[in-house]
Structure 1
């Protein structure tokens, strides 16, 4: 039978110390960061390892390294801190007179194109509600909703969202951008298959847009040649303008950069180029009144042309998925 840790033997000071030591690779630096004497810090770490029943730190002349058990411990410790910070922040809001707190996670497309205006009108109508916004990958957003780290999420379609109440939010048009001197620049409309003859600039791995284009390339039977991968649409546009490749991006998210950098916009003839963004919350979950208000506001700001019946059906959530 696996040994369980006695919560009475672990406190937040020790967990914070353990994380500081893991990040700095030094007990001395970790103790300084937590304002603890070195002897007290060493004793706390030894007690923590004893409570865990596993060796968590490898000590050597070069410093401190995490053992495999230590890597697991630091991940859980960080999650506990995030939860405690949210707990403290939300209670602090109520104490200072703010009557609601909503954690909204959204992907880059939604944050760039649609959410600024929707959030501005929402906060104007509800000044006593605080909305904490975080940009994340679509798969991470779904996982945060299931785990209760986020109240409301906005992500790209085709992201597995079992166990969530999913609704349509907005639609964005995906286009191909290229530099003026690129061989495709004379075209106005192209198929994605024709684009695969050229090198691409793409987003980082695990983004929903990269997965969508990679899947389309696989279906076409032609490998997608990624020359550069970056973390934002803004960086993509600058790389494309420098002639490092072409890129598939949401048109509205990059319209300003298109004119500033002199990029050429090519419409895609593929059906998947019209991509839906979805919003979700826990199915059957007890949303706070503030989160309910935000969800209704976002639903009202979306296009009424997309019936809710077209949203992916929710199914019982099993194992946690990886990024999408």
Structure 2
């Protein structure tokens, strides 16, 4: 079975082809350079860029796989959450292609795509397990009880982890996206020189909070601390906050397998601290951690038997919680 997956939830145009559960092609047209001058994503520009590149990217994927459009047996696209203008480009394209070909269409939740991306090289893993999605737009901790059944047990109260990296990087005069820039600068700094507290100390729940760290970074700069030292401390505190919440959730649920996905999952310090926590960790293979179309195709392949009919009638949704079952 050939499945085409499309993701245009934010600023990257992702197109992927999956055959019988294996990723064959995964193409991403990045918009980083387009938005770099603004220090963040400009929604209107993102939508326009998606429109310009999506058809060519789909054709390129088919060519690389050595198949034609008529060989596709299922089309999947991100329904939400995301920037609504950007979402509509890929979602409408996928719907139109499925309708024209007379093929079934699957509307995929963006976070569900991230979860299945981490299972690409771990097909043997079975629920229950914990899943942490940490990116520029999301910081969510789920208990995956069975395939397609999710319980949200923790989420950010304000900024997402990746968003905090981007905002703090901008304050430090660094480039976009901020995560890799701060990680690079932090290697030159001494975290012990900057007083910065881990958020939500003493909480009994599993919430995250990152917005206060941006303010703390601004104050540290005003007080004259070195940018490298601030970057090192900021990264240390973000990582420690995530690790504390995740390990507490693991103890509470009794689950020792943790799936970590999203752009922040690529942070080497976070990976090292989680590994030291004694959990069984699952990370996406290279190229599948950040937004991409292959993860959408993988999610559709995993959940296709649970979807009785095409989902062409479902609208895109900028706000779309990942509920206990597939979005309907």
Range class of TM-score, shorter chain: under 0.3
Structure with the greater relative contact order (CA < 8 A, sep ≥ 6): 1 or 2?
2
Bigger-Rg structure (1/2): 1
